[in-house]
């Protein structure tokens, strides 16, 4: 009986050492792999936001390059200087715009030309009342007169507004209206650029958790997943995070990683000179990504394997360590 008790205690002692070793080894493995996984995720997020910014900048440049070309177009210059409607001139502009329909479709934007005080707009498809076109696109909170008043005051170079249609999210749009001088005189026209939101914004990686949006100056102008802008500003984008984003340098194309209590913010400043935009990709801090869940399972399996192998070794070592002791006890039993 004493021999059995001694062997069990010896085995339990070695098993305890094995258990501690397995826990320490598994913890170190999980920590190192988790650090590696986090760094890899951060790298992927950095690549994602940089590529998303490049794609948006490319679309902006293409759209605004066309407006630059139109500013020197003789028909547009004539249209700007006409005090009365010249329908032949309007038709010529319409035909020239229609030549770019393929580009409009490919890059997900459309263009229109108008003037302050004029309710009509020239587009590649037709001439239409501005207010009717705004309603067709889902813009109900403002009208042509409000756009005119905003631009005439000269507070900002462009008027920006986005729709947030829950039922027709594929038709969500961002409208940018600017008043530009054309030709060598002081005559001006309005350029209406409308971008399809789904084609402008990237497809985010973790749709249920992550969020991508664009900040113009201090205003959130367009977001993914139809998250309401007010919801972002009140519930997701904390005042601390917004302040950090505002303090970011406007140097074009730079990447920044910001943090608050709940989110990481991956920020890239637009490399397009036409807009002072900042692209923001927010990811939750404490969310368990699929690779982390897999890492936990893998760590648990490694711990179990180490424990089983350790217990087998503990049994063999215990037997080996017990053998001389057992022989001595057996000898004592013979003499007794």
Q: Are 248 and 177 in contact (CB under 8 A)?
A: no
**pLDDT computed for residue 40 by the predictor:** 82
* Position 202 pLDDT exceeds 70: yes
Higher pLDDT, 95 or 329: 95
Q: How confident is the model at residue 74 (pLDDT cuts 50, 70, 90)?
A: very high
Q: Give the Å distances, CA to CA, from 312 to 22, 162, 318.
A: 13, 67, 10
229 phi, psi to nearest 5 deg: -60, -40
Higher pLDDT, 312 or 175: 175
How far is the first Cα of the chain from the last one, in angstroms, to the nearest whole number? 16
Q: Which of 21-25, 158-162, 312-316 has the lowest mean pLDDT?
A: 312-316
**pLDDT computed for residue 184 by the predictor:** 78
What is the number of other CB atoms lying within 10 angstroms of the CB of residue 73?
16
Q: How confident is the model at residue 1 (pLDDT cuts 50, 70, 90)?
A: very low
Higher pLDDT, 122 or 259: 122
CATH number of 72-201: 3.30.450
User: What average pLDDT does this structure show over 142-164?
Assistant: 84
Higher pLDDT, 103 or 182: 182
Please give the full DSSP string across 251-304, using - where no structure is assigned: -TT-EEEEE-SSEEEEEEE---TT--EEEEEEEESS---HHHHHHHHHHHHHHH
Higher pLDDT, 256 or 154: 256
Report CA dihedral (31, 32, 36, 39) to the nearest 10 degrees: 60
* Among candidate residues 180, 194, 193, 190, the one with its CA nearest the CA of residue 114: 190
With a CB cutoff of 8 Å and minimum separation 6, the contacts of 198 are: 108, 169, 170, 172
93 phi, psi to nearest 5 deg: -65, -45
**pLDDT computed for residue 164 by the predictor:** 65
Higher pLDDT, 114 or 171: 114
Q: Are 165 and 172 in contact (CB under 8 A)?
A: yes
* Among candidate residues 56, 108, 57, 50, the one with its CA nearest the CA of residue 281: 50
pTM assigned to the model = 0.74
179 phi, psi to nearest 5 deg: -105, 120
Residue ranges of domains in the chain: 72-201
**pLDDT computed for residue 105 by the predictor:** 75
Question: What's the mean per-residue pLDDT of the chain?
Answer: 79
User: What average pLDDT does this structure show over 155-177?
Assistant: 76
């Amino acid at each position: 009986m004493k021999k059995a008790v001694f062997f069990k205690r010896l085995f339990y002692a070695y098993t305890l050492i094995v258990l501690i070793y397995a826990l320490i080894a598994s913890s170190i493995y999980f920590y190192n792999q988790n650090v590696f996984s986090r760094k890899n995720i951060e790298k992927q997020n950095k690549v994602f936001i940089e590529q998303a910014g490049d794609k948006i900048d490319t679309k902006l440049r293409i759209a605004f390059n066309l407006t630059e070309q139109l500013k020197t177009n003789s028909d547009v210059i004539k249209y700007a200087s006409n005090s009365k409607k010249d329908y032949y001139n309007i038709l010529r502009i319409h035909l020239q715009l229609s030549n770019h329909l393929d580009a409009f479709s490919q890059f997900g934007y459309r263009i229109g030309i108008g003037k302050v005080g004029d309710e009509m707009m020239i587009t590649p498809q037709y001439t239409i009342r501005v207010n009717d076109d705004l309603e067709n696109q889902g813009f109900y909170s403002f009208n042509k007169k409000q756009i005119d008043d905003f631009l005439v005051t000269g507070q900002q170079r462009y008027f920006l507004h986005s729709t947030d249609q829950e039922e027709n999210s594929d038709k969500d749009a961002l409208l940018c209206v600017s008043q530009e001088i054309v030709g060598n005189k002081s005559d001006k026209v309005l350029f209406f650029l409308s971008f399809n939101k789904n084609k402008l914004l990237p497809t985010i990686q973790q749709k249920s958790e992550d969020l991508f949006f664009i900040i113009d100056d201090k205003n959130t102008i367009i977001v993914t997943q139809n998250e309401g802008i007010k919801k972002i500003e009140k519930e997701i984008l904390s005042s601390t995070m917004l302040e950090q984003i505002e303090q970011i340098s406007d140097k074009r194309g730079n990447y920044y990683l910001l943090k608050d209590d709940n989110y990481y913010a991956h920020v890239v400043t637009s490399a397009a000179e036409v807009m002072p935009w900042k692209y923001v990709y927010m990811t939750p801090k404490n969310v368990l990504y699929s690779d982390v869940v897999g890492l936990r399972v893998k760590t648990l399996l490694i711990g179990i394997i180490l424990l089983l192998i350790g217990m087998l070794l503990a049994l063999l070592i215990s037997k080996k360590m017990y053998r001389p002791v057992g022989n001595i006890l057996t000898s004592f039993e013979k003499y007794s």
